[in-house]
Structures are given as C-alpha cells and as structure tokens.
Chain A
Amino acid sequence: MRARRPKLAVWKFASCDGCQLSLLNCEDELLALADRVEVAYFLEASRAVVRGPYDLSLVEGSVSTPEDADRIRQVRKASRYLVTIGACATAGGVQALRNFADCQEFLSTVYARPEFIRTLERSTPIADHVPVDFELRGCPVDRAQLLEVISAFLAGRRPRVATHSVCVECKRRGLVCVMVAQGTPCLGPVTQAGCGALCPGVRRGCYGCFGPAESPNTASLARAWSQLGATAQEVARAFRTFNAAADAFRAESERHERG
C-alpha cells in the first residue's frame, strides 16, 4: 500500500517568479516529483488548490506590504516545514534597494495616485517575520540545489548545500580566475557557491547572486577591487544588487557609497 504523499505548497510574495520558474523548469524531474509529493498549492502551475496543512512550503519573495506580513504568518502556521527560496525570500531581493532610500519619495515619483499604494518602508526576508527551516539562496535558485533540498526533505536528511565561496566551485571546474588572469573584479570570493561559477565560466566576474558566503571578508575584497581600478561607487553598486540587504553586503556598500 502506498503511503500518503507529503503535500507541497509553493507561495509567492514580493518577487519576479523566477524561482518558481526554476521549479517548473525541472522538466525531467517534474514527473518524479509529482510521484513523490502531492502538489497541493502552486498557483504558477495549477489553479487547483488543496487545503492545508502542508508538509513542505516553498516560499518565494520578500515581505514588502502589511498584507504580506500577515499572510506569511498564516503560511507558517499551515506548514510543517518552511523553506525560503531565492534572494528575495532570503535577503529581501533587489526591491530591498528601497531600504537605502525614502520609500515615500519613490511612491510619489513612480505612481500617479500614490495614495492607493500600501507598502512597507522596507523589503525584508521571510526569516525576519517567521521561523524558517532552511534558506536556499540564489537569484534565481539553482535547479539542482532546489531538487536537492526537496529530496533531502523527503528523505528526512539535511540538504547538502555548501556555504563556502564560489571560488571553490570555480576551481573544481578548472576555470581560470578572471580576477587574477584578466583583472576583472569578481565577487566570487565573498559569495556563497551554488551557481557552479556561472559567470566566471563565461569570463565575467561574479555578481553575488547567492549572497554572502559563510565568512565574507568584503573589506579585503573591496580593497582588491579598488586596486584593479574600481571606483568607490562601482564597489558600492556591486554589493548592492539582489542581496543588497544581506548584512555583509549592505555594510560594505554603505562603506563605499559616499566614497
């Protein structure tokens, strides 16, 4: 007799849907996944909704409105395990750039009728609001890592997701370091692995999509960038993208923004 399949839910908060698409992109594995879990709530894939509670909730997106701040509490209550996926959910996303400026000013510049907009001053990661069982980094998340997290959950084991630098992946792949051999500034040494050193693989510096690595010496890397000719503004901008609000990157960008 077949055991009840665990119920999977996929939730969207403030985000671009790219991480959910990474899941839909797992074409070869989707059937195996559907075999192992009941896809109970995944609006991007199906309008059919099965009521909670859910065994595993994947949460994409950051909290940026008062409604979202309430909704994430409901999601947490309805979920046995809650895993956040992507830079928005784990660090606040690119929309956390608002955290560095006056949100009201943006509203009046962007919207014709700002009085209709209800938003929070800051975009924040899910873990700032509710306890999170595992955070999967990336903008977007890596397909293989996402499957690894789901497989780990199904097997009741810890996900095998490295927290070291991108450089380790870069060297395992046998790539030639763009910083050393081209003088191209790269965020790889302070960025968490996961992408498989995608950008160095096409001779570009890492953009930091997976956020700060486990012990990020951003100050030393920033000095090396300056030696390669990067201006203070360029350094500040490099640390201020998809993971702008992640502590180590935020602090480093603030050190350079008025430089």
Chain B
Amino acid sequence: MSRPPTSDGSTGSPSGYVLPAEGLGELFDALVRRGYTLVGPTVRDGAVVYDRLSSPQDLPVGLTDEQEAGRYRLRARPDRAYFGYTVGPHSWKRFLQPPERVLWRAVRDGDGFRVEAAPEEAVRYAFVGVRACELAALAVQDRVFMGGSHTDPLYRARRADAFVVAVQCGQAGATCFCSSMGTGPRCTGGYDLVLTELLGGEHRFYLEAGSPRGDEVLAELPCRPASPEDRQAADQAVSRAEAQMGRRLETQGVRELLLRNLEHPRWDQVAGRCLSCGNCTLVCPTCFCFAVEDTTDLSGQVAERRARWDSCFTGQFSYLHGGSVRATTRARYRQWLTHKLATWWDQFGSSGCVGCGRCITWCPVGIDLTEEVAAIRGSDGLRSGREASGENP
C-alpha cells in the first residue's frame, strides 16, 4: 500500500505518519526485500542483546529492564510493547567493527609468499531499534574509523550500507544520562526512519523518515498521516523519558577538571575497587580499541594478521618495549575516564561518552563514572601523597 500524500501534496519528510503495531512486520518485510540483514534487540540469557531478527516477534515483546550499577534484570511489562526497555550489553559496534577478524593472510609460495586479503563478508545490515545515544555513538565511531586520512574499509563499507531504524526512548533507565551528554533521549538525525512507540489507546508507531531511503521504505508501509494528537503523544513519550533519566553528569568544564586532577586520591580509591577486567570498555558503544596480532600456523605455511577488540584495562594494551606503560589499575582507570571525557575532545572534537550507562550497569563491581566525576569535582585540587613518595602512576 502506498503512502497517502500530505495536505500540500508532497511526500517529503519529516511529516509524521502512523503505523498500526500490527504493521511492524511490513517494515521488516520491506527491509528484507531490499536485501538487508535485520539485526536488533532480542532476548538471550536474561538480557536484551542485538542479533539477527526475522520478525517483530523476535523483539523483546512485553519486557522491560531494571538496571543499576552492576545489576541488570528483565521484567514483564503490563503491555505488549516492542521497545519498552533501554540499552543492553551489546552495541552496534559488534556489527561494524566485529570483535574478531582476519585482516590478511600470507601463504608461502616457493621461496616467497603471497598476501591474500581477508574475504570480508559482504553484508548489508538494517539496524532496528537504534536509540538516540546510540546514534550519537555511531557518529563518534564514524569520526574514528572514517574521519581522518586512515579509514577502515570494512567499517566504511558496512556503515555506508547500513539502514538505520531509530526508536525514540519512551522511558529511561536508572543508569542512563544521555540528557547530561546532550545526546538524547530525542533522536534528531542520523537515521533513515525513526519510530516512536505509542502504547496508550491504539498500539501504534509514530514514524518519520530521515533520508530518501527512509522515504522509499515508508511509502511501502500501511501508514496513515499522523494527527496532531499522534504527534503530541509521540512528543510526550520522549519527554517522559527525559524526566526519568537515572543519572546525571555535570559536563561543565569536565575536561579541565579531570586534567588538572591527575593526582587526585580518588584514582587510588577507585583502583581499590576496579578489577581491571575491561568490561566497561567492551560494552561501551564508542570504545574502538583493537589489538593487531600476528600468528603462524603449525605447518609454517600460513601467517595471519588478526584484529580483536582490546581494552586499555589490559597490560598488553600499553606494552612498549619491555614493559607496560600503565602497569597499575589506577593508571588504567584514569586513562579510561580521561579519554572518555577529556582527551577525546582533543583527539576527535567531541566527548567519548554518550551517556548510555552501559559501563555502569555492566561493571561487575558497579563502578559508576558519574559518581567518580562528581567525587573529583567535590574535592577539586586534592592531591594524593604519591608524588612525594616518588611512586609512578
């Protein structure tokens, strides 16, 4: 069914439309017809993860999440919402920058060897259910992988092809602080389509397109033009999320705050709790670091160069000729926090944190960066005695 023209006869965005909840499957079908592999939220092992989707029934229907520092639980909702939860342990970087991949392979050939480029899986993803903070995270990673003169071909190819279906948050989690970071909860761009799920009264989606591709898909859906009430309901849903924001981070001057407090005793305190396990960086949608590793096989005929997700919490990460530059957990946690909130500005012109709260929820000991920043702010200028003792960072 084609999309009815609006009152002025145009079909251009961003005029809103309404899709009945039963019509969500048609969005899936339209994307599959275009050759997209659909990935998005689904339940596995007690959490909302991102994986292949074949129908809206694969979404976490009727479920929500409860999150706190170091704690995550799924709960039933009183309704049949498709998107009634916030972000889980996965992020879209898993698809654009896979956790493990072969970069190239060298095979012995007579006296020499020949280099074979890795066969990259050509896959066109449609990301279904991307939240505002995640759109911001995609933009951050775009700058990292495609911004400068060195770009990552796999990331670039997958990103250019990816169709982004964003979803406005109708509720915020207890560890969310996107409003502090200016990244959400409202999606304002960077998507092909954006949905707002409306649950009061008729279960329906308010839809807007954000690109010509989005317009084309929208035109195939069984939509009706949105009424002013629909639009208002959609707007209120996001305002509700805004009001529920569970955490806050004062960003005013945070770069300078952290950089002038490199010897603050709070770093020692947090190092007493931190496990240096790396979970916070691995769940973070903007952390991009990977290790490049060379290996040879048993036959001695094949050498491979692989990339794997790494973390500044590992010793190998800062290993330089004979030792790790950041040998202590204190140095590693400080690197992490100052990179996210301070030096990222110098490097990429933005914050490295989008306020999604994943690092708080998925830290096994519940270390909360908003609390750490607040503590340093609360005792700005305090210094630990370690300089006097001559101890290294």
The interface of chain A, by Cβ under 8 A from chain B, is 29, 32-33, 35-36, 147-148, 150-152, 154-155, 157, 160, 162-165, 167-168, 171-177, 179-183, 186, 188-190, 203, 214-217, 220-221, 223-224
Give Cα A32 to B302, complex, Å: 13
Contacts beyond the supplied A36-B300, A168-B310, A220-B272: 8 A-B pairs with Cβ under 8 Å: A151-B295, A177-B72, A182-B46, A214-B276, A217-B274, A220-B275, A221-B275, A221-B364
Q: Lowest 9 A-B CB distances belong to which pairs?
A: A171-B282, A189-B277, A172-B99, A189-B275, A164-B314, A176-B45, A167-B277, A176-B47, A165-B277
Contact B282 A154 (CB under 8 A): no
> Which residues of B have CB within 8 Å of A171?
89, 99, 278-279, 282-283, 309
- A165, B298: Cβ atoms closer than 8 Å: no
A172 to B89, CA, bound (A): 11
Smallest distance from the beta carbon of A39 to chain B beta carbons, Å? 14
- Choose from A152, A157, A214 the contact partner of B314 (Cβ within 8 Å): A214
Q: Roughly how many angstroms separate A134 CA and B94 CA in the complex, as a whole number?
A: 33
Main secondary structure of the interface of B (DSSP, over half): loop
Least CB separation from B276: chain A residue: A215
Nearest-Cβ distance from residue B279 to partner chain A, whole angstroms = 5
Interface of A is mostly: helix
Partner of B365, one of A33, A35, A168, A224: A224
Q: Is the CB–CB distance between A151 and B275 below 8 Å?
A: no
In the assembled complex, the Cα of A164 lies from the Cα of B278 at a distance in Å of: 9
Are the C-beta atoms of B276 and A217 separated by less than 8 Å?
yes
How far is A227 from B297 in the complex, measured between Cα atoms in Å? 45
Q: Are B298 and A163 in contact (CB under 8 A)?
A: no
B residues near A (Cβ < 8 Å) are 44-47, 49, 70-73, 88-90, 94, 99-100, 272-279, 282-283, 293-300, 308-311, 313-316, 328-329, 361-366
Question: In the complex, which of the residues A33, A148, A177, A183 contacts B295, with contact meaning CB atoms closer than 8 Å?
Answer: A148
- Residues from chain B with Cβ under 8 Å of A173 in the complex: 99
Residue of B nearest to A183 (CB): B71
* List of A residues within 8 angstroms of B47 by Cβ: 176, 181
Do A180 and B70 contact each other (CB < 8 Å), given the known contacts A172-B99, A217-B274, A220-B365? yes
Closest residue of chain B to A182, judged by CB? B46
Cβ A155 vs Cβ B274 within 8 A: no
Q: Which residues of B contact A174 (CB under 8 A)?
A: 49, 90, 94, 99
> Are B46 and A167 touching (Cβ within 8 A)?
no
Q: Which A residues touch B311, using CB under 8 A?
A: 164, 168
Residues of B within 8 A of A188 (CB): 277, 364
CB distance from A52 to the nearest CB of B (A): 23
Q: Smallest CB-CB separation from B47: which chain A residue? A: A176
Tell me the complex Cα distance, A154–B311, Å. 30
